Structure 1
């Protein structure tokens, strides 16, 4: 019997983890009854009662497992690490807030059985804030245009991954992983299934402007060269313009020596423009250096504080629970 793993990263999802578990268990009873399963929660140091709820779920069902991180290691490291801890023949990565529809899982499995090693969900519609959806679309279009890797537009990581691809992730040993880019760059032939993203069922998202910017910069510095090349292009263009303006001013001063008074304004304007351009690109280059620095330090993805239900259990214990 094939085994399907479900990986769910959590952070302050106390109102969502129990109903999500119930829906997933019911789905395996009805739609995927021919498969064994495990549900793994990897908690990024929640500050509410999420861990208590997960503990209770693990006590009631030995197929529900948990990894508790020692601290919050970020929205990318924790899921990436969790993917490497699964024991199934494939794994479905999904959010805990119900924005990723549970009913998509059987469709993923069906395409997996058809031979696809990677089956991902692509948001074609969303019930989230329309302004945010618009800005996300602009971001994906920008990355898609400048990246040398064909990115999957509106792909959040929600999808099914065969264990052979999980081995690729394990061998990669990337301390700053960006799964969405890795799937596009190193993944097998993919099946993309469109879906409408639902509203969060309960709680508030932990994504803020800083986290969204961090995600954008990680993708930008990992999969585009345009930032560094743009600095060179803009520098050359500004240099050429400055040279032309200097020649024009010199000619005007020679021709109209007594009447042409340049003053300090052109010099100040030029200084401010060039200074602003330099600061922008120094910051952009700094983003690349930060990305390189994180990879050079090669720190672990996460540090575990505790695991639940990962130990081997015998058949008698398994039969004591209803699934």
Structure 2
């Protein structure tokens, strides 16, 4: 019997984890009854009773496995770590416990996987959210696709089913801040796309605050494109060329008319100083993002510290050195 793994990262989701568990359990008791279920909950060091609820579920259901992180490492790193623990023939990379991604779509995912597609992805063609956030996401996805050096599909998140071959390739990357949808695209397997509506949350509030979303967005932008660095280089060259042209034009005007084309003054100097200082700080900020990413990767790699695993088979003991 083939095994399908479902990964659900969670943080302070006491109101949602049981509903998510029951939705997946019912799928495998119904239309997916011919498959073995493995549901991995990756808890990001919740401070409410999320883990207690998961313990109760796992106590009665050996198909439920739990990874409890020692600290909150963010949803993508937590999901990536759980992906390494997946034992399924195919894996749904992220089934959000708030059920904004419809779990019933997994049935179609599995059907297309059985037809031979290594990657089956959900495409969010419509979002039940505010206009500002929806528009921002729309623009971001298209900017990444335009600038990236690989083909990253638009309107696609981590709600994807990937074959074992793909998951092995993705987890082979040692990435401190994995942009998982980008890594899946990087493997090169042609995806099968299924459109759906991204639902509004029914209970609780999203733990992905604005700063976290910005961090994920920058990670995706910097990880798969050289465009920011090249824009800095082009801007620097344009400013240098403009300065040279201005100097030559001013010199010609001075020779012809005996005076400078623009009278010098303190306000002009102040404006120029602040403008170019702002440009330099902006450039340094972008360079700093790259340096920080390199620094984190060199120091920490992709390792996530776990405090506990539940319902996983015991790891074989390592032989003692002697």
Q: TM-score range by the shorter chain?
A: over 0.9
SS at match of 1:9: strand
**For residues 169 and 247 of structure 2, what CA distance do their matches in structure 1 show?**
56
Matched, 1:276 2:278: yes
**For residues 295 and 126 of structure 1, what CA distance do their matches in structure 2 show?**
34
Contact 2:7 2:42 in 1 (8 A): yes
Deviation of the 1:262 alpha carbon = 2.3
Deviation of the 1:256 alpha carbon = 4.3
SS at match of 1:305: strand
Q: Quick check: 41-50 or 236-245, which moved more?
A: 236-245
Deviation of the 1:263 alpha carbon = 2.0
Q: 1:301-312 to 2 correspondence within 5 Å?
A: 301-311=303-313
**For residues 131 and 5 of structure 1, what CA distance do their matches in structure 2 show?**
34
- Show CA shifts across 1:23-78 (max 9, x none): 11111111111111111101001121111110111112111111111111112211
Contact 1:73 1:301 in 2 (8 A): no
Contact 2:250 2:261 in 1 (8 A): no
Query: Residue 20 of structure 2 aligns with which residue?
Result: 20
Q: Quick check: 165-174 or 215-224, which moved more?
A: 165-174
Q: 1:216-295 to 2 correspondence within 5 Å?
A: 216-254=217-255, 255-257=257-259, 261-295=263-297
**For residues 189 and 227 of structure 1, what CA distance do their matches in structure 2 show?**
27
Matched, 1:169 2:170: yes
**For residues 126 and 155 of structure 1, what CA distance do their matches in structure 2 show?**
12
Query: Residue 215 of structure 1 aligns with which residue?
Result: 216
Assess, with a 3 A threshold, how the Cα gap between structure 1 residues 262 and 250 changes in structure 2: closer, same or farther. farther
Query: Residue 85 of structure 1 aligns with which residue?
Result: 85
SS at match of 1:161: strand
**For residues 7 and 46 of structure 1, what CA distance do their matches in structure 2 show?**
17
Assess, with a 3 A threshold, how the Cα gap between structure 1 residues 262 and 253 changes in structure 2: closer, same or farther. farther
**For residues 38 and 261 of structure 1, what CA distance do their matches in structure 2 show?**
75
Normalising by structure 2, report the TM-score.
0.92
Unaligned runs of 5+ in 2: 315-322
Deviation of the 1:234 alpha carbon = 0.7
Deviation of the 1:260 alpha carbon = 6.7
Deviation of the 1:22 alpha carbon = 1.1
Question: What RMSD over aligned residues (CA atoms) do the two structures have, in Å?
Answer: 1.7
Deviation of the 1:266 alpha carbon = 2.9
| Number of residues of Structure 1 aligned to a counterpart in Structure 2 | 312
Unaligned runs of 5+ in 1: 313-323
- Show CA shifts across 1:88-119 (max 9, x none): 21111211111010110100000010001111
Matched, 1:181 2:207: no
Contact 1:84 1:169 in 2 (8 A): no
Q: 1:129-208 to 2 correspondence within 5 Å?
A: 129-208=130-209
SS at match of 1:172: coil
- Show CA shifts across 1:226-267 (max 9, x none): 111111111111112122223333344451439973223333
Contact 1:5 1:90 in 2 (8 A): yes
SS at match of 1:296: helix
**For residues 209 and 132 of structure 2, what CA distance do their matches in structure 1 show?**
14
**For residues 114 and 279 of structure 1, what CA distance do their matches in structure 2 show?**
52
Assess, with a 3 A threshold, how the Cα gap between structure 1 residues 238 and 299 changes in structure 2: closer, same or farther. same
Contact 2:251 2:260 in 1 (8 A): no
Q: 1:17-56 to 2 correspondence within 5 Å?
A: 17-56=17-56
